Structure 1
Amino acid sequence: MVTVAAYNLENLFARPKAFDPLDWSAGEPILQAYGEFNALITNDTYSDADRDRMRELLLEVGVYYRNTHGAIRRRPSPTPAWAWLRKNRGDFDRQPRDTTDDVEITATGRGDWIGWLELATEPTDEIGTRMTARVINDVDADIIAVVEAEDRPSLVRFNHDMLNRQYRHVMLVDGNDERGIDVGIMTKPGFAIGTIRSHVDTEDHIGTIFSRDCPQYQVTTPGGTVLHVLVNHFKSQFGGGDDKRRRQADAVRDIVDDLVADGQHVIVLGDLNEGQPSIDKPPESLKALFDDDGPLVSCYDLDGFTTGERPGTFDTCSIRNRLDYILISHSLTPAFTGGTVFRKGLWGTRKTRPTAWDTYPDMTANIHQASDHAAITIDLDL
């Protein structure tokens, strides 16, 4: 029996402060300002309007502040509230000695300096990290796709220090997201990872498609079955994102179509960031993956997959909070024997302990949760 799982870890040891799951409303404008600033600084030439907007954005993220004179100044802090302005070479701004004068952005274009805006991080809760390890131990998957891991060294350290090195292969390839929320995979001994293909550069007529990546791992089981595992973390729902997720689903479908046409077994899994409007309706933007005549079947539509008292995988676990999925090619459905949503490490944003599912007794508050996502698993007789 082969157990395959997907789990959004919400970072293992350090997480951007703006990703506070208990108050998303506080972090959302910071993330928007962060993205807008890093997009603006790529311009070859900075107009006066660009520089004015950059200054506003740096005020928003706390790199600049208004002093008692009302002047905009640099905020000197080794532990910023939200972000650092990293400057490697060249000059970006100038701060006059007179504290009644505003800081001035002197760079006239990207060629004047090398730097970027970087989100400040903070350690994750130690109990929460232990609960994350407990979830993974209890799920006991042979192949587990991980979402929102900060980098491969952190994932390797986590496997060594907290999972007793139970995973032989730990792989994570940096994707398009600069914030340290990448996707990766861990497999147990006997489940060799062969070919790895990144899709970070995949584009359509609009531009880059994947927010993180859609890494394609060729995993061979001890019995010799070759699986093509596509790990995904689609665009978040903050600020909409429907069109982006639709483009991502279409791109994944194209990859799957080619693999299936070549006679390959395929598994698509991860946090697709869109729930279903109802039990019998697929996510609106993800229809390419849920096409009745398509190459994939959702785990939720397979006989023997159980969700417990709630249908979803995120926070309250309503059907609209069903964000995590495992989809398998039709060639694998005869091997499917069961699967489940594992919620013991999930507390959510509520103040009191959830009552709709069992939780670990070590968790006494939402800050202790392993993740605000549940893990999902399937079993295949391969």
Structure 2
Amino acid sequence: MRLATFNVENMFDRAKALNGANWEEGKPALEAHKELNALFEKARYSAADKARMLSLFEKHGLLKTDDSPLLLLRKIRGQLIKRPRVGDAEIVATGRKSWVGWVELKTEPVNETATLNTARVLGEINADVQAVIEAEDRTTLRLFNQQLLPEVDAKPFQHVMLVDGNDDRGIDVGLMTRPKFPIVSIRSHVDDTDASGTIFSRDCAEYEISLPGGKRLWVMVNHLKSKGYGSQASNDAKRKRQAKRIRTLYDAHLAEGDTLVAVVGDLNEIPDNDPLTPLLRQNSTLIDISSHPKYESGGREGTHGNCGPSAKLDYILLSPDLYASVTAAGVERRGMWGGVNGTLWEHFPEVSNADEAASDHAALWVDLDL
């Protein structure tokens, strides 16, 4: 069977703030989105809270309107802000119970050609068990599977599953499998907490796959905290907390007698850095597929951007029994653009510029003799 993972960077709609062309403006908008929604949840709004809301509204175009280029203020009940024709705007809500609403990120359609190229990547890999990162929701993933894969002469998957995670930007993790590899159970970890609070930025979704012959494969699909916004120290600490929890879950499988376990996805970190220590060191038995002698790297270590050594963000980590069953493995970069001029590697003819790329990430795959 073939197991694969691919960060699809959304299929039909993506938050404008997440698009590379808007990143200088997008990064502060993402931070404001998070901070404002946290402020809104307070039971009582202090004078300092109200002042901070107004400051963020002014900075991001929401002081005079609910609709700005990257953010949208949703008000369902009650009143948050008063905007008089003459004079200054003011926050009139006293706390969370006095109004219902939030700030959301505005979305825009993904380039149609890019969406088809995403389908081409999945078609070329032709996995039996395919993890997807940054999919909007199960409905979108199901429609993509049914409608877009046939457009590029690729076979749709029989089983499509995604559980919404903790990120409200529509970047969830999911799994698609072929008829011989049904999903028989799912474990979500969106509510897992430790002393510092909620652990997973999205989820660590555990999928139990039935294999021919009665065996079970566990695939743990992950998308760890990004480096995109927030302080480096805070982001690193968050990723390490997530890696620790994944390691605990993985070790629990081994203790229960589950020997076929894979941890896959976008871990947003390079192997040698501290956040991945729980998964790759500290007596971990997980083994990175890129270390296998049959892994074909295409001459580059990384999986993101220009795919240099500092851009290895995507992983397939295997338990010892799975690693022992590897017959082939590799990386699929043809859906990526590849450098400023698209000359760093061969890409699909349909990828004629960066906007048409399927993703900024490569896909990884491994063939297993089970």
Provide the TM-score with structure 1 as the length reference.
0.92
Gaps of 5+ in 2: none
* Greater helix content: 2
Identity %: 45
Counterpart of 1:363? Answer: 351
Say if 2:74 is the partner of 1:123: no
Cα offset, 1:275, TM superposition = 1.6
Which amino acid in the other structure matches residue 6 of structure 1?
T
Query: Among 172, 192, 210, which residue is 2:200 paired with?
Result: 210
1:61 aligns with 60
Q: Which one is further off, 156-165 or 311-320?
A: 156-165
Does the 8 A contact of 1:341 with 1:376 survive in 2? yes
| 1:341 equivalent in structure 2 | 331
Change (3 A) 1:351 1:23: farther
In 2, are the aligned partners of 1:256 and 1:266 still within 8 Å (CA)? Answer: yes
Alignment-derived partner of residue 319 in structure 1: 309
Quick one: which of 332, 354, 362 aligns to 2:343? 354
Offset of residue 15 of structure 1: 0.2
**Given residue 313 of structure 2, which amino acid in structure 1 is its aligned partner?**
L
Report the equivalent of 2:76. 88
Aligned residue among 163, 174, 185 for 2:175:
185
Equivalent in the alignment of 2:38? 39
- 1:147 maps to 2:139: no
Aligned: 1:297 with 2:292: no
8 Å CA contact 1:74, 1:103 repeated in 2: no
Are the aligned partners of 2:289 and 2:323 in contact in 1 as well (CA < 8 Å)? no
Counting only pairs closer than 5 Å after superposition, residues 107-256 of structure 1 correspond to structure 2 as: 107-164=93-150, 166-238=156-228, 239=230, 240=232, 241-256=235-250
Deviation at 1:263, TM superposition (A): 1.5
Q: Aligned equivalents of 1:60 and 1:189: distance in 2?
A: 51
Q: Structure 1 residues 113, 56: closer, same or farther in 2, change over 3 A?
A: same
* Contact persistence 1:256–1:295 (CA under 8 A): no
Deviates further, 159-168 or 368-377: 159-168
CA displacement 1:16-72 (0-9 Å, x = unmatched): 0001124533211110111111111111000111011111112233222xxxxxxxx
- Spell out the pairing of 1:90-109 with structure 2 (5 A cutoff): 90-98=78-86, 101-109=87-95
How many residue pairs get matched? Answer: 361
Q: Which residue type is aligned with residue 354 of structure 1?
A: T
SS at 1:256 equivalent: helix
1:261 corresponds to 2:255: yes
Contact 1:271 1:325 in 2 (8 A): yes
Is the contact between residue 4 and residue 366 of structure 2 (CA under 8 Å) also seen in structure 1? yes
Q: 1:11 is matched with which residue?
A: 10
Letter in 2 for 1:345: G
Deviation at 1:363, TM superposition (A): 1.3
CA distance in 1, matches of 2:285, 2:315: 15
Answer yes or no: is the 8 Å Cα contact 2:16–2:22 preserved in 1. Answer: no
The CA distance in 1 between the partners of 2:181 and 2:61, in whole Å, is 46
> Is residue 34–residue 61 contact of structure 1 (8 Å, CA) maintained in 2?
no
Q: Secondary structure at the match of 2:280?
A: coil
Alignment of 1:71-82 (within 5 A): 73-74=64-65, 77=67, 80-82=68-70
List gaps (5 residues or longer) in structure 1: 65-72, 277-281
Q: Could you tell me which amino acid in structure 2 is paired with residue 351 of structure 1?
A: V
Structure 2 distance, partners of 1:347, 1:116, is 36
- Helix, strand or coil: the match of 1:156? helix
* C-alpha distance in structure 2 between counterparts of 1:295 and 1:112, whole Å: 52
In 1, Cα distance between equivalents of 2:93 and 2:283: 54
Q: Which residue of 1 aligns with 2:362?
A: 374
Deviates more, 1:236-245 or 1:211-220: 236-245
Tell me the distance in 2 between the aligned counterparts of 1:353 and 1:96. Answer: 52
> Which sits farther off after the overlay, 222-231 or 323-332?
222-231
CA distance in 2, matches of 1:315, 1:333: 27
In 1, the alpha carbon distance for the partners of 2:17 and 2:133 equals 18
Instruction: Give deviations 1:149-193, integer Å, cap 9, x for gaps.
Output: 011110000001012362011011011101111110000111110
Amino acid across the alignment from 1:272: L
Q: C-alpha separation between the residues in 2 aligned to 1:309 and 1:33?
A: 40
Q: Which of these residues, 301, 304, 319, is aligned with residue 329 of structure 1?
A: 319
What displacement does 1:318 show? 0.8
| 1:292 to partner: Cα distance | 6.5
| Aligned-partner Cα distance in 2 for 1:17–1:227 | 37
Note the alpha carbon deviations across 1:210-240, whole angstroms, 9 max, x for none: 0000011000123432111100000001232
**Structure 2 CA distance for aligned equivalents of residues 23 and 310 of structure 1:** 28
Secondary structure at the aligned position of 1:10 is classed as: coil
SS at match of 1:289: helix
User: SS state of the match for residue 312, structure 1?
Assistant: coil
